[in-house]
Chains A and B, each alone.
Chain A
Amino acid sequence: MIPDDAAIEARAQALYEQHSTDVAMRTDRMFGMLIVAEWVVGICVALTLTPFSWHGHVASISPQMWAAVVPGSVLVIGALTTLLLRPGTRLSRHVIAIAQMGFGTLFIHLTGGRMETHFHIFGSLAFLAFYRDWPVLITGTVVALFGNVARGLFWPDATGALTALTTARVFEYAGWMSFEDVFLIASCVRGQTEMRAIARRVAQLEHASNLEALMEAAEESNRSKSEFLANMSHEIRTPMTAIQGYADLLMEPDTTESDRLEYVQTIRRNGEHLLRLINDILDLSKIEAGKMTVEHISCSPASVLVDVASLMRVRALDKALQFDVVYETDVPTTIQSDPTRLRQIVVNLVGNAIKFTERGGVRIAVRCERSDSADPRLRIEIADTGIGMTEEQIGVLFTAFSQADTSTTRRFGGTGLGLAICRKLAGLLGGEVTVQSTPGQGTSFFLDIATGPLDGVQMLTGYSEAGFQVEASPASDARHVDARVLLAEDGRDNQILITTHLRKAGAHVTMCENGRLAVQAALLANAGGTPYDVILMDMQMPELDGYGATRMLRTQGYKGPIIALTAHAMAGDREKCLAAGCDDYLTKPIDRATLVEAILRWHTPAPGQDASADVSDASEDEDEEMAELRADFAQRLPVIAGELDTAMDAGDEVQVRHIAHQLKGAAGGYGYPALSAVAHRVEEAARHGHDVAAAARTLLKAIREAR
């Protein structure tokens, strides 16, 4: 039996039992009233026909009168007690059958054996069939026959129904009762069969109804995802349109230098937006797949808030909104949490607050709660004076792919993923995100997270946001990297980009084009007593890839830090790299700040060196150099397109895939995230055995249009 059938059978059985109990209870109640009425009628009949017996002139209450009162009452009491204590049970049915037949017998005697009162016996059997439980009929029949048999046995000359109560008459009487019983039993069995059939049909209908509900839910989910895709399409198309439009403008020969810079910045900004969108989707898919892991490291919540405030204040001021950060209690200097995810949540909540507030302001209030308990919490409240929400809107707020309503999407944009991600991330941090809102007055989001044990942790008192701003670490972009870095990267464009970023930060970079050369270079430097401070290892290279090279180095006893560079941003990639022996993991496209931050994590400047020194004027130079690099890359695009075209014509799928891989890693870094995404699709098509040629043609078109 398949599970569905088993479930239907189980439900049908439950329905049948319920129906049977209902029938039994209903019939019990009917007989309860009938038996009381029969008791009253019996007494009235006795009073009318045989109230007294006489002995000469002395009258006494007749035994029939006594029988109507005493055994009649006993019958009623027994039946009603059972109905009260065990209603709807087999016991009650059989007691009722006995009582009912008892009254039949009583009536026959009270009326002097009138033929008509024998109909009570036959009628009662028919009534008992209401229970649809044939054994009850047997009990009733036995009781009725017992009276006849006993009289025939003890008083063989007694009159039965109009004739002498001989053995033959007793059998005849039993025969007629059995005759009726046969039909009534058949009726009971058929009734039960029909009840079972009805129960099964109802169970099937319920099952079908449940399936329909599931189908509706699935369709609703599908609709929701379709809406989401439509939004996503809009979200992606908008920056893409800007990128293409400004790229076209860049190609205009009479573009001035300042316009060119502005166009490039616009393109970059839109590219970053697209990247954020893709990151959101990846985050959500990771969380939903249960693959998202969070760190529990020592971090400063105040520093995170200072970062967020410095980032978001500009946006608030752009809308002329008040922006405050308030510390309502002492807060711990450090907590055990994931600063990156904490920052992500707060940025999202504050971003929403600013987005939905036109007047008034946004206020971040921080407090430490239950600091003396075993489970201390940090509460961050983000309150705004924006449009607020109704209860209905709040109900769907944290659902992935949903926003307060679709008009919100049209008016304010967004993917509808942010709050779903926030809530899930907060859960991973041992807390939750809750919301209170009044339409037209504003909204307060509450982020509660676990801080970990606070024993021995210093509490900061009487400080302000400004104090942390002073203490805040300098932006990584401007930090100095005094390190010898070995870069293992086969893609020319990435080589140039990463090398430029590192050299601008002050690092000395040695480059090699595959894993084997990287292993040789690293071991040679070690042997020469001038080891590299950090190795940046691309994980996908010809001859020997990054995984193999890293494993080989670790096997040779290489202890230095190795940071993986990979274009794969899927769940599990980080673990795969770490398993190969890497210490850290960066995804392409490489962001300079992230790159510098990662190097500094693994290479602490020697004492006396100031990580933030000598780069105060770097930013302007860098912009110029980056602009040159991007221009170089743009000029190389026709060459790359030609190589791709040739490889496609030759049917060289390996080369096509290689070009796509290189482009995927490099294009994002040079400000072409869309190109990177299209290149990624070529790789994916090759990996999954899909139509590589079609994907490659799209890439070729994208390269030509990107030019």
Chain B
Amino acid sequence: MGRSLWIMALVCGWLGVVGIGFGAMVNWENTPGEQGSPPARWPEASRIARTGRATLVIAAHEHCPCTLATLREISKVLRRSPDADVDVWAVIDGSEPSEVADAAAEFPWLHVLRDRDAAELRLFDGLTSGEVSLYGADGALRYHGGVTGSRGREGANPGAAALLSAILKHDGPRAAPVYGCAIQGGA
């Protein structure tokens, strides 16, 4: 094999290794998490107090770094629907101080519920951090799914658009993939 062919082969090999590495990362970012099946009507057993308005419940893993993007995307949705009457609740598993809990405290419109025993998460069947469920004032499920286009990535995406539509048009139910860490499982 000639010298230039060797060089070409080395460069191709190098590009291949880089491509595989980056491919694995992008694939992970864009692979949706497992979604649960929340009840079609507001569960009366929930500890979240209803105020006669629509209620958005966000399932969150206390350490998942992707969840911050979900909160920011919901913040944008709320800005685009200023007249909407929606109570937003973040149900964060565990009770210890965490990055997600700290970040959640910075959103004034957000109510936080630390779900020490994960009972609330089980009630809404939240399996992936960032999985949201919107219930209308009438208690009917209007939207269920994620609000980011991939893991931890802000920006326009089908999930956020569907949520906004559900809030504004009071229709549904709608659904979209969710990207984030698995809340349940492990030890």
Listed in ascending order, the chain A residues whose CB lies under 8 Å from chain B are 49-50, 52-59, 62-64, 66-67, 70-71, 74-75, 78, 91, 95, 98, 102, 105-106, 109, 112-113, 147, 150-151, 154-155, 157-165
Contacts and interface: CB of A to CB of B under 8 A. Distances in A.
Contact of A162 (B17, B22, B155): B155
Given A63-B28, A112-B152, A147-B22, 16 more contacts: A55-B181, A56-B186, A57-B186, A58-B185, A67-B21, A67-B24, A71-B20, A71-B25, A95-B11, A113-B154, A154-B30, A159-B155, A159-B157, A162-B154, A162-B155, A162-B156
Nearest to B11: A95
A360 to B, nearest CB: 72
Nearest to B33: A55
Nearest to A106: B22
B152 A50 contact: yes
A55 B150 contact: no
A49 B65 contact: yes
28 contacts: A49-B152, A52-B63, A53-B28, A53-B64, A54-B63, A54-B181, A54-B182, A56-B182, A57-B186, A62-B28, A63-B29, A64-B25, A67-B22, A71-B17, A71-B18, A71-B25, A102-B18, A105-B22, A109-B25, A150-B26, A157-B149, A157-B158, A157-B177, A158-B30, A159-B148, A159-B150, A159-B153, A164-B149
Nearest to B18: A71
A164 B186 contact: no
Contact of A53 (B22, B153, B181, B184): B181
Nearest to B8: A91
A62 B181 CA distance: 10
Interface in B1-23: 7, 11, 14-15, 17-18, 20-22
Contact of A55 (B65, B66, B185): B185
A157 B26 contact: no
Given A54-B63, A112-B69, A158 B150 contact: yes
B30 A164 contact: no
A164 B158 contact: yes
Nearest to B177: A157
A159 B156 contact: yes
B129 to A, nearest CB: 8
B36 to A, nearest CB: 14
Contacts of B65: 49-50, 52, 62
B61 interface: yes
B187 interface: yes
Interface string B33-75: 0000000000000000000000000000101111001000000
A70 to B, nearest CB: 5
B25 A161 contact: no
Contact of A54 (B11, B61, B152): B61
B183 interface: yes
Interface in B139-187: 148-150, 152-158, 177, 181-187
A161 B183 CA distance: 28
Contacts of B152: 49-50, 112
Contacts of B181: 53-55
A109 B183 CA distance: 23
A50 B68 CA distance: 11
B143 to A, nearest CB: 16
Identify the 9 closest CB pairs spanning chains A and B, nearest first: A71-B21, A56-B186, A159-B149, A58-B186, A159-B155, A56-B185, A54-B181, A67-B25, A63-B28
B166 to A, nearest CB: 18
